[in-house]
Amino acid sequence: MGNTKCFSFNEYAPSLSDKSKANQILTKIKELDPANNQITIDFSGLIAMTTICARLIFGKLYVQLGSELFSKNILMKNVEEPIQIVIRWGISKELEHAL
């Protein structure tokens, strides 16, 4: 197994609604190689995220990694419940789209 790597939403706080920033974040997380490393994603300071951003980041990661690897390698900390809900919704929307 690989290493644990970290990604922080700090520079994007307090809210994320820009699709181009969401795509940048996805690229940065993918550069950490989530298929082979555990990625701790720190949501400190982030209080809002649009569903489209959640879908672009976490939906795409979920589809690419699959549910088991996503659950094992994408670790979220300091994430507010409203953002957790948006992330789950973004994943479900991306899964619908992927079918």
**CATH code, domain carrying 58:** 3.30.750
Write down the pTM of the prediction: 0.95
**Number of folded domains in the chain?**
1
Element (H, E) at 40: strand 38-42
Q: What is the pLDDT of residue 98?
A: 82
**CA nearest to 37, candidates 6, 61, 67, 1:** 1
pLDDT higher than 80, residue 4: yes
Question: Which residues lie below 8 Å from residue 93, measured CB to CB, with a gap of 6+?
Answer: 51, 55, 59
Model confidence over 56-71: pLDDT tens digits?
999 999 999 999 999 9
pLDDT higher than 60, residue 6: yes
Range of the domain at 94: 4-98
Q: What is the pLDDT of residue 2?
A: 78
Question: Which residues lie below 8 Å from residue 39, measured CB to CB, with a gap of 6+?
Answer: 4, 5, 6, 7, 29, 32, 73, 74, 75
pLDDT higher than 70, residue 72: yes
Model confidence over 12-57: pLDDT tens digits?
999 999 999 999 999 999 999 999 999 999 999 999 999 999 999 9
pLDDT higher than 60, residue 1: no
Over the Cα atoms of the chain, what is R_g?
12
Q: Tell me how far apart the alpha carbons of residues 6 and 76 are, in angstroms, rounded to a whole number.
A: 10
Element (H, E) at 75: strand 74-77
